[in-house]
């Protein structure tokens, strides 16, 4: 990645494991206790506040609802003779399978996320490519321009689109004035608005890993191809595109995974009846106060996302292993 | 070197940036609109900024958010730096894969899942050990530290892998203790990464709605929560004013930080070159002598 400090954010590939690093051995040999201590601080924090919570969610997804605080029954209880009794309620998951509301919302979320990811790729790839091919001085400015929206409030950027898409909003007023349309088009509270919102909010996440990848591309390959009579378009399809695959996968995962669970964008821009899984989970939790079902929704979503998350992790590891030539 | 057609590249960039910036530009423009109707121009006015600064609810929420963000970012930088350091410098150890997974996953984890799971953790902990009592600022800070430290760890990791580790090696060779090496050599070199990490953690915390809504208690509404409940009822011009103020602060901050870091980089490069040149001179003189 570039050397300019703030630019090193998402696109940068995490580190290669330094398997036989001499430095690693030094650190460890000199102070085995110190390194254990240093390792254990972030480790324990993440175990306690990141991993353990998922186990609790899993536990509660198997428990029964009750009207109390907290609104679920304990999973383990002391029965007679000091035997721990475990009551597994699969009813929450059965409920998810039976009620087609959940199926439809999972399906909607996945479709919306997949289409938005594709749109992000179609818009982001040419931009990342253009930035990677511009001269170094403009490159930093262009990167800064990509990152700047990412630093400004996500909520307020989504809010900005309400003003544009409303029936009496900027776009409709503009088109009415031009005489292209004679009555406003309904754009807010449609699926179109949700797509716009997601593509707009997640575009930097697509551009940065793509840029990080394309910037490293060895241009002599393209020159060689041109010398051998390959047309630019051909070279792009046969050389640039396949080589940028890790960047494409990383960018797509960075957009797709959070977009599946998106809550803010569909609730502000989408149709109130539009069912996305993030909204369903939110409603189950805050409006229906059904914590076990909300947990079951979360577990089902997580199970679906495990594969994309692992794919993302894999590209990160391999990209850092193979692309290191500094 | 022009690969491909320049008009294509310029066109892609122009359209892309138009898409990214038009909403923000319009948002800023309409914050100076006199009309109550957010999208009809009624002349220039700073009326809505006045209204914003008289809105006690927003001011309280903003102050709370800034405090939470500053504290969370500081903890996140400490923990994220440790995690980045462990993952890049400590070589393989048992459980390294789990740690690297746990630092990468929060980057992509849907916020509803993180929020729900943290809340259930806090509720369970309260039942078992009586802490944290209820939910409020403490639980919000813990949640924010947890999801922002992942971003810090990524930034620190990428800085550490880019940096030349021969300095650390030399210092260790010469007998400096690891802690001293870290504070005297590693830390100053990765300082820019820590600053960008802190700023990023601060902005992410300041902006978070979903996770915060899960773990916040009755008396602890942060700025995004107040904004969200206002925006749900419709567009209001004072939110435009608020957005403009926040965007300006961030834009100015990022631009200044960018310039400062480019400058630092130049200084470092020059120093490195001078050191190399001096080294060369030394070798030459040794050869002659």
Residue B71 lies in a domain: yes
Q: B84-117 pLDDT, tens per residue?
A: 999 888 877 888 888 888 888 888 889 999 999 9
What average pLDDT score do residues B189-211 get? 90
User: A258–B232: do the CB atoms touch at under 8 Å?
Assistant: no
A interface test, pick of B2, B3, B194 with most A CB neighbours within 10 Å: B3
Between A144, A149, A261, which is nearest B111 by CB? A261
Beta strand extents in chain A (DSSP E only) = 76-78, 84-86
Which helix (H) or strand (E) covers residue A43, if one does?
helix A32-46
Residues of B in contact with A164 (CB under 8 A): 22-23, 26
User: A320–B206: do the CB atoms touch at under 8 Å?
Assistant: no
User: B257–A161: do the CB atoms touch at under 8 Å?
Assistant: no
B interface test, pick of A46, A219, A244 with most B CB neighbours within 10 Å: A46
Residue A36 lies in a domain: no
Residue A88 lies in a domain: no
Residue B2 lies in a domain: no
Distance from CA of B151 to the nearest CA of A (A): 8
How far is A237 from B86, CA to CA, in rounded Å? Answer: 40
Confidence of residue A124 (pLDDT cuts 50, 70, 90): very high
Q: A140-176 pLDDT, tens per residue?
A: 889 888 888 878 888 888 988 988 888 888 888 888 8
In sign, the C-alpha dihedral spanning A326, B3, B6, B8 is negative
Residue A140 lies in a domain: yes
pLDDT of residue B173: 84
Residue with tokens 């091919």: A133
Between B16, B21, B121, which is nearest A123 by CB? B16
Residue A45 near residue B146 (C-beta atoms within 8 A) = yes
Distance of CA B196 to the CA centre of its chain: 6
Backbone angles phi, psi at A85, to 5 degrees: -100, 130
| A180 C-beta neighbours (distance < 10 Å), count | 9
Confidence of residue A31 (pLDDT cuts 50, 70, 90): low
- CATH at B223: 1.10.3720.10
Residues of A in contact with B37 (CB under 8 A): 168
Residues of A in contact with B120 (CB under 8 A): 53, 56-57, 60, 291, 295
Backbone angles phi, psi at A21, to 5 degrees: -65, 130
Residue A325 near residue A273 (C-beta atoms within 8 A) = no
Distance from CA of A88 to the nearest CA of B (A): 18
Residues of B in contact with A60 (CB under 8 A): 120
The ipTM assigned to this model is 0.84
Distance from CA of A271 to the nearest CA of B (A): 13
Question: Angle of helix B187-207 relative to helix B56-89, nearest 10 degrees?
Answer: 140
Residue B261 near residue A6 (C-beta atoms within 8 A) = yes
Q: Compare B182 and B280 and report the one with higher pLDDT.
A: B182
Distance from CA of B184 to the nearest CA of A (A): 15
Residue B205 near residue A18 (C-beta atoms within 8 A) = no
Number of domains in chain B: 1
Query: What length is written for chain A?
Result: 326
Residue B57 lies in a domain: yes
How far is A126 from A115, CA to CA, in rounded Å? Answer: 18
Residue B85 lies in a domain: yes
Residue B264 lies in a domain: no
Number of domains in chain A: 1
Residues of B in contact with A307 (CB under 8 A): none
Distance of CA A69 to the CA centre of its chain: 33
- CATH at A131: 1.10.3720.10
pLDDT of residue A45: 92
Residues spanned by the domain of B184: 15-255
DSSP secondary structure of B182-207: IIIIIHHHHHHHHHHHHHHHHHHHHH
Residue A196: closest C-alpha in chain B: B19
Residue A187 near residue A171 (C-beta atoms within 8 A) = yes
- C-alpha distances (whole Å) from B12 to each of A255, B15, B272 are 20, 5, 38
Residue B83 lies in a domain: yes
Percent of residues, chain A, with pLDDT higher than 90:
29
Residues of B in contact with A14 (CB under 8 A): 87, 100, 104, 154, 157-158
Residue A88 near residue A61 (C-beta atoms within 8 A) = no
User: A12–B154: do the CB atoms touch at under 8 Å?
Assistant: yes
Residues spanned by the domain of A279: 5-17+99-322
């Amino acid at each position: 990645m570039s050397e300019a400090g703030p630019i090193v954010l998402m696109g940068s590939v995490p580190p290669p494991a330094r398997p036989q690093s001499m430095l690693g051995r030094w650190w460890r040999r000199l102070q085995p206790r110190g390194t254990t201590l240093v390792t254990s601080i972030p480790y324990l924090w993440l175990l306690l506040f990141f991993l353990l919570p998922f186990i609790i969610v899993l536990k509660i997804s198997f428990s029964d609802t009750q009207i109390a605080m907290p609104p679920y029954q304990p999973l383990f209880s002391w029965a007679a003779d000091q035997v721990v009794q475990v009551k597994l309620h699969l009813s929450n998951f059965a409920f998810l399978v039976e009620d087609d509301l959940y199926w439809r919302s999972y399906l909607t979320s996945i479709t919306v996320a997949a289409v938005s990811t594709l749109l992000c790729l179609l818009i982001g790839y040419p931009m990342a490519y253009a930035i990677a091919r511009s001269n170094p001085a403009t490159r930093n400015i262009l990167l800064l321009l990509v990152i700047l929206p990412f630093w400004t409030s996500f909520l307020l950027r989504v809010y900005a689109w309400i003003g544009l898409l409303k029936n009496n909003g900027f776009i409709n007023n503009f088109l009415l004035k031009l005489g292209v349309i004679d009555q406003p088009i309904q754009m807010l509270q449609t699926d179109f608005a949700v797509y716009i919102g997601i593509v707009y909010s997640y575009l930097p996440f697509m551009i940065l890993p793509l840029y990080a990848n394309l910037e490293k591309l060895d241009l002599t390959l393209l020159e060689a191809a041109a010398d051998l009579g390959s047309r630019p378009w051909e070279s792009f399809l046969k050389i640039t595109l396949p080589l940028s695959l890790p960047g494409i996968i990383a960018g797509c995962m960075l957009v797709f995974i959070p977009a599946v669970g998106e809550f803010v964008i569909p609730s502000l821009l989408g149709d109130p009846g539009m069912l996305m899984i993030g909204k369903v989970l939110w409603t189950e939790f805050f409006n229906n106060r059904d914590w076990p079902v909300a947990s079951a929704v979360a577990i089902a979503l997580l199970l679906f996302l495990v594969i994309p998350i692992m794919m993302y992790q894999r590209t990160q590891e391999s990209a850092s292993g193979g692309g290191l030539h500094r | 070197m022009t690969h491909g057609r320049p008009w294509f590249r310029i066109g892609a960039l122009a359209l892309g940036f138009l898409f990214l910036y038009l909403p923000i530009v319009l948002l800023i423009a309409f914050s100076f609109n006199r009309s109550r109707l957010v999208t009809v121009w009624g002349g220039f006015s700073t009326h809505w900024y006045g209204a914003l600064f008289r809105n006690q609810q927003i001011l309280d929420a903003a102050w709370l958010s800034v405090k939470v963000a500053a504290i969370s970012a500081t903890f996140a930088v400490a923990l994220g730096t440790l995690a980045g350091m462990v993952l890049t410098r400590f070589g393989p150890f048992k459980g390294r894969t789990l740690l690297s997974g746990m630092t990468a996953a929060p980057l992509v984890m849907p916020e509803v899942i993180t929020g729900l799971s943290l809340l259930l953790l806090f509720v369970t902990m309260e039942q078992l050990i009586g802490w944290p009592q209820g939910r409020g600022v403490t639980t919000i800070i813990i949640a924010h530290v947890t999801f922002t430290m992942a971003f810090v760890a990524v930034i620190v990791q990428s800085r550490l892998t880019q940096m030349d580790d021969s300095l650390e090696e030399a210092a260790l060779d010469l007998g400096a203790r690891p802690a001293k090496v870290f504070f005297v050599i590693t830390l100053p070199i990765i300082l820019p990464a820590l600053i960008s990490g802190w700023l990023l953690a601060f902005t992410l915390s300041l902006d978070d709605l979903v996770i915060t809504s899960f773990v916040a208690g009755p008396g602890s509404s942060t700025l995004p929560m107040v904004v969200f409940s206002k925006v749900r009822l419709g567009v209001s011009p004072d939110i435009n004013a608020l957005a403009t103020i926040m965007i300006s602060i961030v834009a100015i901050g990022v631009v200044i930080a960018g310039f400062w870091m480019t400058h630092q980089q130049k200084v470092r490069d020059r120093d490195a070159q001078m050191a190399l040149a001096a080294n060369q001179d030394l070798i030459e003189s040794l050869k002659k002598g």
